[in-house]
Amino acid sequence: MIKEHSKMQTKGRGRLRAMTWSVLFIVISAMVLPTASYLISSDTAFAQVSNDENQRANFWRAVRQGAVGYSAVSGVESGVFINNGGQNWRQMRNGIIATYGGWSVIGAPISILVFYLIRGKIRVGAKKSGLTVPRWQTWERIMHWYTAVLFVILAITGLSLLFGRVVLIPVLGAKGFSLWASLSINTHNVVGPFFSIGVFAMLLFWIKNNIPNATDIKWLTSGGGIIGNTHSSAGKANGGEKIWYWIVILVGLLAVCGTGLALIGWVAQWGIGDSTRATMQYMYQIHAIAAIIWIIVFFGHVYIGTIGTEGVLQGMITGRVSTEWAKQHHDLWYEDVKDQAEQVQSNLPSGTETHNLTN
Amino acid sequence: MARMKFLCDAERCIECNGCVTACKNEHEVPWGVNRRRVITLGDGEIGEKSISVACMHCTDAPCAAVCPVDCFYTTDEGIVLHDKDLCIGCGYCFYACPFGAPQYPQQDAFGVRGKMDKCTFCAGGPVADNSPEETEKYGRNRIAEGKLPLCAEMCSTKALIAGDGDMVSDIYRERILKRGGRPQTWGWETAYNKTS
Give chain B's domain count: 1
User: Is the pLDDT higher at A342 or at B88?
Assistant: B88
- Quick check: A71 contacting B, CB < 8 Å? yes
pLDDT at A357: 44
Q: How much of chain B, in percent, has pLDDT values that exceed 90?
A: 76
How does residue A359 score in pLDDT terms, banded at 50, 70 and 90? very low
pLDDT at A8: 64
Distance CA A249, CA A297 (A): 13
Q: How far is CA A311 from CA A132, A139, A320, A348, in A?
A: 11, 20, 10, 13
Query: What are the tens digits of pLDDT across the range A64-92?
Result: 888 899 999 988 889 999 998 999 999 99
User: Is the pLDDT higher at B97 or at B48?
Assistant: B97
Which residues in chain A (12-41) have CB-CB distances under 8 A to chain B?
none
What CATH number corresponds to the domain at position B80? Answer: 3.30.70.20
Within a domain: B178:
yes
Distance CA A136, CA A315 (A): 7
Amino acid at A299: F
pLDDT at A305: 92
Least confident range of A25-39, A222-236, B83-97 = A222-236
Query: What are the tens digits of pLDDT across the range B40-65?
Result: 998 888 888 899 999 999 999 999 99
pLDDT at B194: 56
pLDDT at B40: 93
Side-chain half-sphere exposure of A44, counting CA atoms within 13 A: 0
Q: Searching chain A, which residue's CA lies closest to the CA of residue B63?
A: A90
Contact predicate B86/B69, CB 8 Å: yes
Residue A49 has pLDDT above 90, yes or no: no
Average of per-residue pLDDT across A3-10? 64
Distance CA B151, CA B121 (A): 9
Distance CA B61, CA B195 (A): 12
Within a domain: B195:
no
pLDDT at B182: 73
The residues, any chain, with a CB within 8 Å of residue A179's CB and separated by 6 or more, are none
User: Is the pLDDT higher at A45 or at A130?
Assistant: A130
Residue A45 has pLDDT above 70, yes or no: no
Strand order in the sheet with A320-322: A320-322, A131-134, A342-343
pLDDT at B183: 74
pLDDT at A350: 44
Least confident range of A93-97, A118-122, A253-257, B142-146 = A118-122
Amino acid at B172: Y
Q: Searching chain A, which residue's CA lies closest to the CA of residue B51?
A: A81
Within a domain: B50:
yes
How does residue A125 score in pLDDT terms, banded at 50, 70 and 90? confident
Distance CA A246, CA A237 (A): 12
pLDDT at A354: 42
pLDDT at B113: 86
> b/e per residue, A294-313, with b = 16+ CB within 10 A?
bbbbbbbbbbbbebbbbbbb
Q: How much of chain A, in percent, has pLDDT values that exceed 70?
A: 86
How does residue A6 score in pLDDT terms, banded at 50, 70 and 90? low
pLDDT at A27: 94
How does residue B137 score in pLDDT terms, banded at 50, 70 and 90? very high
SS3 A114: helix
Which of B37, B94, B112 is nearest residue A189 as measured by Cβ atoms?
B112
Contact predicate A259/A286, CB 8 Å: yes
Within a domain: B196:
no
Mean pLDDT of chain A: 86
Containing B52, the helix (H) or strand (E) segment is strand B49-53
- Nearest-CA distance from A69 to chain B in Å? 4
Within a domain: B17:
yes
* Partner-chain contact A281 B65, CB within 8 Å: no
Residue A353 has pLDDT above 70, yes or no: no
Which residue out of A52, A58, A63, A276 would a mutagenesis test of the B interface target, given it has the greatest number of B Cβ atoms within 10 Å? A63
SS3 A199: helix
Average of per-residue pLDDT across B74-102? 95
Q: How far is CA A108 from CA A95, A240, B4, in A?
A: 20, 17, 47
Instruction: Please state, as a whole number, how many other Cβ atoms lie within 10 Å of the Cβ of residue A106.
Output: 10
Contact predicate A157/A185, CB 8 Å: yes
Strands (E), A87-195: 131-134
Domain that holds residue B166: 4-190
SS3 A211: coil
* Partner-chain contact B111 A265, CB within 8 Å: yes
Containing A179, the helix (H) or strand (E) segment is helix A169-206
Distance CA A216, CA B169 (A): 70
SS3 B70: coil
Distance CA A85, CA A278 (A): 6
Residue A215 has pLDDT above 70, yes or no: yes
* Partner-chain contact B43 A69, CB within 8 Å: yes
- Nearest-CA distance from B152 to chain A in Å? 18
With 0-12 CB in 10 A as exposed, 13-18 as middle and 19+ as buried, what is A280? buried
pLDDT at A2: 58
Within a domain: B33:
yes
Distance CA B91, CA B112 (A): 9
In 3D space, the residue among B6, B32, B37 whose CA is nearest the CA of residue B21 turns out to be B37
Which residue out of A52, A53, A70 would a mutagenesis test of the B interface target, given it has the greatest number of B Cβ atoms within 10 Å? A70
ipTM value for the complex: 0.89
Residue A288 has pLDDT above 60, yes or no: yes
pLDDT at B24: 95
Within a domain: B10:
yes
- Quick check: A173 contacting B, CB < 8 Å? no
Angle, helix A277-303 to helix A98-119, in steps of 10 degrees: 10
Distance CA A237, CA A209 (A): 6
Q: How far is CA B51 from CA A55, A108, B19, B76, in A?
A: 17, 50, 11, 27
DSSP line for A257-282: IIHHHHHTTHHHHTTSS---HHHHHH
Within a domain: B128:
yes
- Nearest-CA distance from B167 to chain A in Å? 24
Q: How much of chain B, in percent, has pLDDT values that exceed 70?
A: 98
How does residue A40 score in pLDDT terms, banded at 50, 70 and 90? low
In this complex, how many residue pairs, one in chain A and one in chain B, have their CB atoms less than 8 Å apart?
135
Instruction: Please state, as a whole number, how many other Cβ atoms lie within 10 Å of the Cβ of residue A4.
Output: 8
- Nearest-CA distance from A181 to chain B in Å? 7
